[in-house]
Amino acid sequence: MNSAPEEQSRILIIDDSATSIRLLSAILKDLGRIWFATSGEAGIALAREHRPHVILLDVEMPLMSGYEVCRVLKETSETRDASIIFITGQSGMESEIRALEAGAVDFITKPVNQPVAKARVCTQLNVQRQAEALVRLAKRDGLTGLFNRRYFNEMIELEFSRHQRQGHVLGLALIDIDHFKAFNDGYGHLEGDTCLSMVAQTIALATQRPSEIVARYGGEEFVAILPHTTLEEASKYGAWLCEKIYDLKIPHQFSSCASVVTISVGVAALVPSENSTIRQLINAADHALYRAKAAGRNRVIASDSG
């Protein structure tokens, strides 16, 4: 969940001519995974299922024309971001304009010129890859590589309502590096940044169950969303994190609670009812974190109000 490898490019060909599909598949076979459909309806279904980066769409098809298929693809949330390239036997300004107005990004004329077709698909695959990279970056914190707070805010909304619907318990952990300001002041900001990254990576590696999400919450504060996790399980997780960070043995001579870098963790959990709020869950974890600090740090405290 915390890092995704770059995916293979996905291409969908929608054309009522089997000959045309065979030819295009042969031209594009090295560029990614290819699906094909011989009707608009089948093509739309495949597009929703596989979310292709690029869709090659024949304009002249019986039943649903390429223009109609394009309109549906652009109105469907799962498919609207795909790059659609029209394939058409008609050339000329008018059909070009109509294609672009329908939402296509480019078009290829029949008979298909192989290098031109390949180059146009390549261009659109690059556009799609860059767009994906931007989306990935927008979710990430630049220093630690963890998800950022904005992404956390989106995901906690989703998880909260999912748990509300299902009547399941949702856990949350707030994690804070102990005496981090003293660390920064004593060792300098460069060392401070390294320490932050090491702690962040250790927390991310320890938080890998499906749907678990770790984000940077503030300066030296992190937050973990723990789906289907009871207060007791969240406490165990917190205690385990404290051990993991302690075991990194990053020297911290300016700490009052240990000779190495440590963390404090506050955990809370609740089965969201109709009246409960995300704020309630976060406040409960925050209060527990405050108590962990007050009790001497390097420990986990479970909320008694969650």
The contact set with Mg ion (CB under 5 A) reads 16, 58, 60-61
For the chain, the DSSP string reads ----PPPPPEEEEE-S-HHHHHHHHHHHTTTSEEEEESSHHHHHHHHHHH--SEEEEES--SSS-HHHHHHHHHHSTTTTTSEEEEEES--SHHHHHHHHHTT-SEEEESSPPHHHHHHHHHHHHHHHHHHHHHHHHHTB-TTT-SB-HHHHHHHHHHHHHHHHHHT--EEEEEEEETTHHHHHHHH-HHHHHHHHHHHHHHHHHT--STT-EEEE-SSSEEEEEETT--HHHHHHHHHHHHHHHHHH--B-TT-SS-SB--EEEEEEEE---SS--HHHHHHHHHHHHHHHHHTTSSSEEE-S--
The nearer residue to Mg ion, 52 or 66, going by C-beta atoms, is: 66
Q: Which two tokens stand for residue 68?
A: 């109609």
Q: Shortest gap between Cβ of 15 and Mg ion (angstroms)?
A: 6
Closest CB to Mg ion belongs to which residue? 60
Q: Shortest gap between Cβ of 13 and Mg ion (angstroms)?
A: 12
Q: Shortest gap between Cβ of 17 and Mg ion (angstroms)?
A: 5
The nearer residue to Mg ion, 110 or 139, going by C-beta atoms, is: 110
Q: Shortest gap between Cβ of 90 and Mg ion (angstroms)?
A: 11
Q: Which two tokens stand for residue 6?
A: 């770059």
CB of 79 within 8 A of CB of 48?
yes
The nearer residue to Mg ion, 85 or 223, going by C-beta atoms, is: 85
The nearer residue to Mg ion, 107 or 237, going by C-beta atoms, is: 107
Q: Shortest gap between Cβ of 197 and Mg ion (angstroms)?
A: 55
The nearer residue to Mg ion, 18 or 131, going by C-beta atoms, is: 18
The nearer residue to Mg ion, 25 or 148, going by C-beta atoms, is: 25
Q: Shortest gap between Cβ of 57 and Mg ion (angstroms)?
A: 10
The nearer residue to Mg ion, 58 or 176, going by C-beta atoms, is: 58
Q: Shortest gap between Cβ of 111 and Mg ion (angstroms)?
A: 13
